[in-house]
Structure 1
């Protein structure tokens, strides 16, 4: 690379005829308008998977009265999502060998079967509880594909200058579904009457709550059934012509990919930087109502806090991904700024909840602001992390790479919720776990040495 611009002849290929026009995209690449339809179908499935996963946390008080759930039940209902990641290697193999269509069809089938199981109206509450738990497990089995296939879809269908944006949309919409459950659940399902009342009044209240919960379950089942039909009728695995050099290039085999990932210290470092805070915040937000109850925050207000924290993260994440598409090679700097902000916001929220010790003002405004900032910074970092993973370990296939890191994230979510089933009387330790995970991630990112192998292939090799 010289100090001055190269001459026109120096830029001509040596072994092949020169093309009439120089272009960043190779002559055999093409982008299709249908890519937006493919992205929309995948994103809506992610939206519904996230909504079903987070159905019970925002209405945990109502669910306890309607079905006799205990705090342990609420934690386990959220825990079925990470447990559904147990056969993640099988789903990654299926995605690598059979493509996106087969993998997504199987995941959509699990979702529609799980939502149908949950919505079966039964007067026997014990059996109804078992069906609800089974439905949550089936929905969790869709997680490995839904949460990790976004970068594969963006590489397969989108040009290099749109990849980070497509990854952000595909990977964050499932979190938007979880946010919608924070809003829909408390608004549709009434909170129980905690005042002392006659037994007849309590029975009427319980039946009314149960009917409203059933309405939510029916609506979720109907929407998932429509999306399953859409995937069945139209969802191709790949376009006829790839959109970039990276999409058309040869990738490592499944076994070689797993071995390379597990032996790559740089990848393991950045994978932990992603999985620890995102795993902790997923479990933390799933029981946010339980965390905010001691602070005298109502079920509806807790739902609004959770809703805006996730929505803010999704909107900011898409904006930052668009910025990363326009200014390439800045992923590490973006992540440093995001995790620094998350660390400060998590510390603020933790100290605010300990108002008896810190004497900080614990108002609705401070709880809203600090909690929403936590969600904005952590959730918006997810697509940036995904793009950095793929750049770091290229040519490992995107689905396998993101499958490993999302498995690790769900592993930490599962561990957090597992401990919650034993220590649920005092929940301030969850806030400390959140703060510690953000600081740990920030340290790893600062020590990480970034590289952009896939970007080099698309920008320089294709010229």
Structure 2
């Protein structure tokens, strides 16, 4: 696209500003307020694809071949780091009342909770508006000189790209290796507090587990991205190593819940450690997967490639949540789904035949 990311980022931030603004409109009619909040959330959802998928395009456009994996890792992991902060911001700014029964809340408690929620929404609106103003003032579409042959090369059209993606068996194999476990993990982590309730771990502790899982995944993702730049052509071995570790961690967590049979210690320390390790290793695979997707189907545009992958991952998250509406009393099956998906993806990755079409172009053809 001739305008690079500038137009896309402007539209994305505009949707976020409008969405955050709708949630802050002070109206007394609760039904209308509910519609405004839902409308704001819908607009915020429209901004999601850019935030989730722009990292590989950004790294290709602005960075040289020996910096791309690191740039992809930093850009994609910062997105996850924002999600990690959400685990803490909610409980810290809007703490749960001492008595969780809504029928026993006093008017003072209700007013305090309402004020704190509104403070969060106003703060979010201010931050987003500031970012929008910064992008309007300065956000160049691309550098003056392309950093690589791939950055300057022509890309396939939308129709040709979709056909290339759907007809490439190797790409579909690695896509399912990403979409199934990462999709299931998103749904699993979203109800982690419910999963941990039977062993008396509360919502705040579950939030800390989610926070450290993502923060650890960010560090691992950036570290392996830097390693992939320094030692080229090792994306598949990195994924095999990370998924072997995530499969073992998920298995450890799942079997811990069967401590009466497995005799594994069921303690707060083991639950914390196994949960955090699952998130660290799974989240750390994200930038490596993104780079592998782009290398496998180049010259398909990065946005189309990663958008397709993210859409499929969200489908698996949705399927898990649909099943959760029917089987919500006993949730140990969620742990088995996560463990099985990690193992299945490990098999896909082992059988995957990697290629580095974009890297080959940059290394063997000079600008």
Bin of the TM-score, shorter chain as denominator length: over 0.9
2:271: which partner in 1?
A: 367
Aligned pairs (5 A) from 1:23-34? none
| 2:195 maps to which of 291, 296, 300 | 291
* CA shift in 2, pair 1:402/1:195, >3 Å: closer
1:453 aligns with 2:351: no
Deviates more, 1:239-248 or 1:349-358: 349-358
Whole-Å separation in 1 of the counterparts to 2:214 and 2:63? 26
Displacement of 1:224 after TM fit? 0.9
Deviations 1:103-157 (A, max 9, x none): 1111111111222222334444444444333322221111111111110010000
TM-score by length of 1: 0.75
* CA shift in 2, pair 1:434/1:122, >3 Å: farther
SS of equivalent to 2:307: helix
| 2:48 maps to which of 143, 151, 156 | 143
Whole-Å separation in 1 of the counterparts to 2:345 and 2:287? 15
2:85: which partner in 1?
A: 180
| 1:312 maps to which of 203, 212, 216 | 216
User: Matched residue pairs, number?
Assistant: 367
1:408: which partner in 2?
A: 312
CA contact (8 A) 1:193 1:205 kept: no
Displacement of 1:328 after TM fit? 0.4
Displacement of 1:377 after TM fit? 0.5
* CA shift in 2, pair 1:248/1:121, >3 Å: same
Displacement of 1:312 after TM fit? 0.3
Deviates more, 1:126-135 or 1:271-280: 126-135
2:233: which partner in 1?
A: 329
Displacement of 1:355 after TM fit? 4.2
Deviates more, 1:312-321 or 1:416-425: 416-425
2:37: which partner in 1?
A: 132
Whole-Å separation in 2 of the counterparts to 1:227 and 1:196? 39
1:351 aligns with 2:288: no
| 2:68 maps to which of 163, 181, 191 | 163
Whole-Å separation in 2 of the counterparts to 1:354 and 1:284? 18
Deviates more, 1:439-448 or 1:245-254: 245-254
CA contact (8 A) 1:192 1:206 kept: no
* CA shift in 2, pair 1:131/1:427, >3 Å: farther
Task: Give unmatched runs, 5+ long, in structure 1.
Answer: 1-95
* CA shift in 2, pair 1:115/1:195, >3 Å: closer
Whole-Å separation in 2 of the counterparts to 1:208 and 1:301? 23
Aligned pairs (5 A) from 1:390-401? 390-401=294-305
Deviates more, 1:209-218 or 1:341-350: 209-218
- The CA RMSD over aligned residues, in Å, is 2.0
| 1:249 maps to which of 145, 149, 153 | 153
1:341 aligns with 2:245: yes
1:113: which partner in 2?
A: 18
Displacement of 1:318 after TM fit? 0.2
Task: Give unmatched runs, 5+ long, in structure 2.
Answer: none
Deviations 1:316-372 (A, max 9, x none): 100000000000011100000001111111111222234455443222211111111
Whole-Å separation in 2 of the counterparts to 1:291 and 1:131? 32
* CA shift in 2, pair 1:120/1:283, >3 Å: farther
Structure showing greater radius of gyration is 1
SS of equivalent to 1:160: coil
Displacement of 1:98 after TM fit? 5.0
| 1:438 maps to which of 338, 342, 350 | 342
* CA shift in 2, pair 1:323/1:265, >3 Å: same
| 2:281 maps to which of 377, 384, 390 | 377
1:22: which partner in 2?
A: none
Deviates more, 1:235-244 or 1:148-157: 235-244
* CA shift in 2, pair 1:132/1:323, >3 Å: same
1:425 aligns with 2:329: yes
Displacement of 1:380 after TM fit? 0.6
TM-score by length of 2: 0.94
2:125: which partner in 1?
A: 221
Structure with greater helix percent: 2
